[in-house]
Chains A and B, each alone.
Chain A
Amino acid sequence: MFLLSSIFPISMAILSYIFNKYHKIFILISYIGIFISLIISKTPQSYIPGDWSSSNGIEFFFDNEIKIVLICFMFFSAFIYLRFFKNKNHEFTLLWLILNGSLNSFFMSRDFFNIYVHIELISMIVFLILAMDKDSTRIWISLKYMLMSSVALNFYLIGVGMFYSNTGTLNITLSLEFSKPLFSQSFIITGLLIKSGVFFLSGWLPSAQSEASEGVPSILSGIVEKIGLWVIYLIFPLLTFEVKNFLLYFGIISAILSSIFTFLQIDLKKLLAYSTMTQMSYGLIIIAVRPEFFPIFLIYDMFSKGILFLLADDLNEKFGSKNLEKLKNVKISIVPYIIFFILLFNIGGVFPSNLYKLKSSLIIPLIIEVNIFIFGMYFTKLFKTFHISKKFGFKYLYLLLVTPVILYITYIKYNFEISKITYQYLLFFGGVIFYLLIFKKIKFKPINIYSFENSLIYQIAFLLIFFIIESLSRI
């Protein structure tokens, strides 16, 4: 019954394309249908369409974690639709409903090839949505994204082929007890990491998130970039010990480097795009150490990044520019100002935020705290740019009520260690003071290391390093 939450929106999408005039009614019906079919399914259950055995058919699995993630995702997508996409035509409705339906069944599938087909369908819809108003900048960034995604998914397919030649089945849970051939893990993980937006490998991300039309960066950074990390979370029991270590160290290095690049940007949306890269590296670290916390990270990051991009899009629309030099001394109303800085604080990782609770339950090397120092620097930079105006901003009041509930309340018990909180706040204020001392002497120029051919070279270099690490453990 839970599979209806994916077949039903897709059928409604096709009906809404045929009957153009009533396409908004079909959206309402599909959201109600998804909600009902998610609530009434029993958990946990495993289901194979066609009633075959699990080595013959495609297996789907549903339990409580996936239920909570999918219900939160349904609310998030309804909220983004009502805010940005209310007035689009029936072709957009077709794409939007198929995106919702296929994301629902992506999270439940447990079969290597079925995951590949889902990632291709979701990527095809994102390519079409990114370039929808036929502007030449957006067509170029969509073309770049398409080429890199094709190369990444071909890497993934070669890895699955090598893996299959040992096990004989495409089911993830049944492949656990076989031994893994030598280079299959590098191919699969490189392909997935290119799609998911970590620092070194994703050349498409800074331009795609800063130049897209309004509303699209929220859905991109909210859920579409997390699908690569979700697949790594699913195949995590199959990886060997050296690969897990390598992923942890790679996550730490890429988090620090992308923080430095976040600080050096002068464009507001590019700054948020590089901070998305930092968050993806945090997600990789969480998977490498305690994978059971990953769904919680997914939910809280979906909402914070989505609402931050919403506020940035509103600023862009109201004042006509994304450049921080031109936005100096603009006045924002009180309520969005407070929400913006609370959410930014939440991403940083100091005491009352969710990221602090997640980080303090992991055992990771201390060098990751350098991120808090750099976070202090760019927090101050944004703080000096925007000023408060006297208007209240009533239309954002609902966001203020929603923010504390979703972002600060969770069931993870956190350790209230005074020493850790003290030195984190010392690092934070150190960053603030350091920025106030030096900001008159630095000139920020936009640097771009992600031209088209350079990004492909970085990806192949990463593949070579991964090969060397995997072969060192076996030879």
Chain B
Amino acid sequence: MKKKIIALFLIIPIFLLLAFYMEIGDAQSPYTAQEILVENGSINMVAAIVLDYRLFDTFFEVLVFTLAVTGVSYYVKKLPVVSDSDFEKTSITVNVFAPIMFQMIVLVSLYVAVAGHIGPGGGFAAGVILGTGLLGVTFVKPMEDIEKIFIKSKIEKYKIITPFLIAIYGILGIVWGDSFFTNIPLVGQPGKLLSGGAIIILNLLIGFEVFAGTWTILYKFIKHRGML
């Protein structure tokens, strides 16, 4: 009880000071629409900034995500495995419908990744969609099948190649530009698929990476903790 009173006594004055005296300006960032169309060619402004102007930030963020997933799968080996007989049986609707839904989810996520520069979307959203879609299949099949797929695809080794490929793309930027992390000079026509330089390839790489990571985390949580 004492801690609640002390915390309230500290937080309420902070919030009141902020509510009455805080000043927020309204400045705009220096990217204008015409510039992005001319220099980059994609009509999604956020994709142009994330994968062209500030690609160095995205490279480090993919590294953070990869390291977190490697850490999770390293530490989770210490927990005991939950056996299959503890799960209750799923209903018939889920058993029939989940594999069909899974095929549609794969198509949706591929579309969202490839068309990331013509509409909203991009690599991150596509990876999360596919990762949680694969989780739906886990409800239906027994645990040993999914374990076999997991080990046979060697996904733990392949998911770490993505930051390496982005780094190679960055270093090769000297070949077709002047400095590291320069985009391919393929501006193209805005609105068509082949525009915006190398954004398609980067989106596919990041989508694969986020898919592998999300699926690893969710699958290991189910294996060592069980479902309700």
Complex contact flag A–B (Cβ < 8 Å): yes
- A150 is an interface residue with CB less than 8 A from chain B: no
Encoded as 1 (CB less than 8 Å from any B CB) or 0, chain A from 206 to 234 comes to: 00000000000000000000000000000
> How far is it, in angstroms, between the C-alpha of A56 and the C-alpha of B179 when the chains are bound?
15
Interface residues of A (CB under 8 A from B): 3-4, 7, 10-11, 14-15, 17-18, 47-52, 55-58, 91, 94-95, 98, 102, 113-114, 117-118, 120-121, 124-125, 127-128, 131, 134, 162, 164-169, 181-183, 453, 457, 460-461, 463-464, 467-468, 471, 474-475
Chain A residues with CB under 8 Å of B63's CB are 10, 98, 102, 121
Within 8 Å by CB of B164, from A11, A124, A181, A471, lies A11
Within 8 Å by CB of B29, from A91, A95, A117, A168, lies A168
> How far is it, in angstroms, between the C-alpha of A460 and the C-alpha of B160 when the chains are bound?
39
Contact A182 B179 (CB under 8 A): no
> How far is it, in angstroms, between the C-alpha of A333 and the C-alpha of B61 when the chains are bound?
48
Chain B residues with CB under 8 Å of A461's CB are 10
> How far is it, in angstroms, between the C-alpha of A50 and the C-alpha of B31 when the chains are bound?
15
Chain A residues with CB under 8 Å of B29's CB are 168-169
16 inter-chain pairs at a CB distance below 8 angstroms, sorted by A residue, are A7-B167, A7-B171, A10-B163, A10-B167, A17-B160, A49-B179, A50-B179, A50-B180, A51-B179, A51-B182, A124-B67, A125-B67, A164-B27, A167-B27, A181-B23, A460-B11
> How far is it, in angstroms, between the C-alpha of A57 and the C-alpha of B178 when the chains are bound?
14
Chain A residues with CB under 8 Å of B163's CB are 10, 14
CB distance from B32 to the nearest CB of A (A): 11
Q: Known: A7-B171, A50-B52, A57-B54. Contact between A102 and B27, CB under 8 A? A: no
Tell which of A56, A128, A182, A467 has the most Cβ of chain B within 10 Å. Answer: A56
Interface range on chain B: under 10, 10 to 19, 20 to 34, or 35 or more? 35 or more
Interface residues of B (CB under 8 A from A): 3, 6-7, 10-11, 13-14, 17-18, 21-31, 52-57, 60-61, 63-64, 67-68, 70-71, 74-75, 78, 157, 160-161, 163-164, 167-168, 170-171, 173, 177-183
Contact A128 B71 (CB under 8 A): yes
Chain A residues with CB under 8 Å of B7's CB are 457, 460
> How far is it, in angstroms, between the C-alpha of A169 and the C-alpha of B25 when the chains are bound?
13
CB distance from B77 to the nearest CB of A (A): 9
CB distance from A428 to the nearest CB of B (A): 40
Chain A residues with CB under 8 Å of B55's CB are 49-50
Q: Known: A14-B163, A15-B164. Contact between A128 and B67, CB under 8 A? A: yes
Contact A113 B17 (CB under 8 A): no
A-B contact count (CB 8 A): 138
Contact A117 B14 (CB under 8 A): no
Chain B residues with CB under 8 Å of A162's CB are 22, 24
Instruction: List 15 extra interface pairs beyond A49-B179, A50-B183, CB under 8 A.
Output: A48-B179, A95-B67, A117-B64, A128-B71, A131-B75, A165-B26, A166-B27, A169-B29, A169-B30, A181-B24, A182-B23, A183-B21, A183-B22, A457-B3, A467-B17
Within 8 Å by CB of A181, from B25, B171, B180, lies B25
CB distance from A96 to the nearest CB of B (A): 12
Within 8 Å by CB of A98, from B3, B27, B57, B67, lies B67
> How far is it, in angstroms, between the C-alpha of A125 and the C-alpha of B67 when the chains are bound?
8
Chain A residues with CB under 8 Å of B71's CB are 124, 127-128
Contact B181 A134 (CB under 8 A): no
Contact A121 B27 (CB under 8 A): no
Chain A residue nearest to B63 (CB atoms) is A121
Within 8 Å by CB of A165, from B27, B31, B67, lies B27
Chain B residues with CB under 8 Å of A475's CB are 21
> How far is it, in angstroms, between the C-alpha of A463 and the C-alpha of B10 when the chains are bound?
9
Contact A471 B31 (CB under 8 A): no
Contact B168 A11 (CB under 8 A): yes
